Amino acid sequence: MDDPSSPLPPQVLRSLGDRSYDKRKNAALEIESQIKALQEKGDAARVERVIEILARDFCTSTNANHRKGGLIGIAATAIGLMASTRRHLDELLPPVLHCFDDPESRVRYYACESLYNIAKVARGGILKYFNSIFDGLCSLFADVDVDVKNGANLLDRLVKDIVTESDAFDVETFIPLLQKYIKRTNPYIRQLLVGWIVILDSVPDTQMLDWLPDFLDGLFNMLSDGNREIRQAADSALGEFLREIKTSAVVEFGPMVGILVGQCNSKERLNRLTAITWVSEFISLGGDSLLPFYSQLLGATSHCIGDHEREIRDVAERTCDEFLLLVRESPKVCELSPLLNTLMGELASDYVPTKMAALRWINMLLEKLPKETNTFVGEMLPVLLKTLADESDEVVLLVLQVLSRISVTKPLLETSRKGYLAASSASAYSFVSLLANFSPFMPSGSSALSLTYVASTRTIPGYGGGMSSAKAQLESDTRTLAFEAGRKGGIRVNTISAGPLKSRAASAIGKGKKTFIEYAIDYSKANSPMSQDLYSDDVGNTGLFLCSDMARCVTGATMYVDNGLSTMGMALDAQSMVKEEE
């Protein structure tokens, strides 16, 4: 290794590669002294020659002691150069970074120490090489050797100080590297990344919020890390970003929606809870700007409503209600096809609140956009009719309300064949099917009851969609079933034609200042022989009578419980009547 043209004395070169640490250290001090002298003379060529020898003959040597000596020598060179180190970083850094992957742990430690000394004197000059340095840091943080890890921590703190005090850091070139490493599951690398995300976010000029979609998913994934400190650090970072989103004037919500939707389906509790909390805030903050993503957000919310964790369910249910209110009151029209596809899928859920939420949404869309939503009735009806078989009474009642809105609100001339048949199926054949399946188990003297409406024999504007035909069919079937079930099993069959009651299904009909049923109730009180309120108990009492032995000879009857409204042939509150009285 003795070279007559070398600016370093042979004795220094020999000591620099010695197995003794003290000899290598003394040689490094001699190099530092010589570099200072060359620097004072302005002999840059000989300085570069020293660096070349250290990099070529020592740092890449097959002898581990030579590599250690080369790294100490490069650190000494940087200290000797001081502020001028920046001009030689292209030569100083590559051999040091190369030794980060050295098979010898002590060499890796010396490489870490060497870079620390270079960075200490070069300061902001190293930022040009930041990505290469960060690559090395990730390698060192994942190292199996404790000393190397400790050295990496010291180096990391120094580089962070340099970045935070500089205005020359280019976050845009760093983001691809962050995206690369944030997918790693190594806890030490994750710890490094969270620390850097937090530090960069604290620097005002970096605008990390603008780059959040690029690493948000990785940050969420850290919530399920096995290391408690990493989970807490990630949770804290996410909380801070959410606070920034709330206070920021401009936020691009769209690129983050898909990430949140995926996290809402995570197997990890904290991931799901944090994600649905973010979804809730996004809906509150983003409003109509999230229009293209409504179906995705609704799917994520509905999924969390069926979560086995109570806290997640509570947040999801509240979010779903707020979301529904937002869509209902918004003047903008959302794309219905993906939204309805999501809702139809949720009706297949095993969880009752999820199905209830989906039905409330369908009901709202039918109310807000009746014409647009009715174009999808063909796809919706099979799913809705299947849901009628649900074990939950709440679900069945809400399905009936939805079906009522679908069928009744459309004029007969605009009713499709599927809608007409669905009305008949739900309001007439369901009674036939019920009796067919239960009559074999009903003893003689039993009674079967259904509910009908005066629209079966009178024209009631607004009661459309084939429902008037279905009620006429029900009354006709009642008479036929009375004969067949009476002869076959001694079963009585009757139907009650109730006056206007504010039931859930009836309340679904119509929109505006008053619903159809509210108009009907007002009309009934104004025109019935008995001008009084009609209550569900009145209908129930009549049903009790028809089921009791007091009605043992009554079958095939349509019993009117309507304060006598069905007997009237003239409306007392009609305009013509008012003029005549005047």
- Residue 453 bears catalytic tag: yes
Q: The tokens of 58 are what?
A: 């020592």
**Strands across the sheet containing 492-498:** 447-452, 492-498, 558-561
Q: Residue 305 carries which side chain, given as an amino acid letter?
A: I
Give CA torsion, residues 337, 340, 341, 343, to 10 deg: 160
User: Which residue is listed with tokens 């029209």?
Assistant: 333
CA 392 to chain centre: 27
Question: How far apart are the C-alpha atoms of 140 and 149, rounded to whole Å?
Answer: 6
If you ran DSSP here, which 8-state letter would residue 494 be given? Answer: E
Would you call 451 helix, strand, or coil by DSSP? strand
Q: The tokens of 499 are what?
A: 């006056």
Whose CA is closest to 361, among 377, 381, 375, 347? 347
* Measured CA angle at 457 (ends 475, 565), to 5 deg: 105
Per-residue b or e along 94-133, where b marks 16 or more CB atoms closer than 10 Å to that residue's CB: ebbbebbebeeebbbbbbbbbbbbbbbbbbebbbbbbeeb
* Measured CA angle at 318 (ends 312, 323), to 5 deg: 120
Q: The tokens of 493 are what?
A: 């069959």
Catalytic residue among 110, 129, 463, 519: 463
Would you call 306 helix, strand, or coil by DSSP? coil
Catalytic residue among 188, 294, 453, 519: 453
Question: How far apart are the C-alpha atoms of 272 and 260, rounded to whole Å?
Answer: 9
Residues 6+ apart with CB under 8 A from 512: none
| Catalytic residue positions, numbered | 453, 463
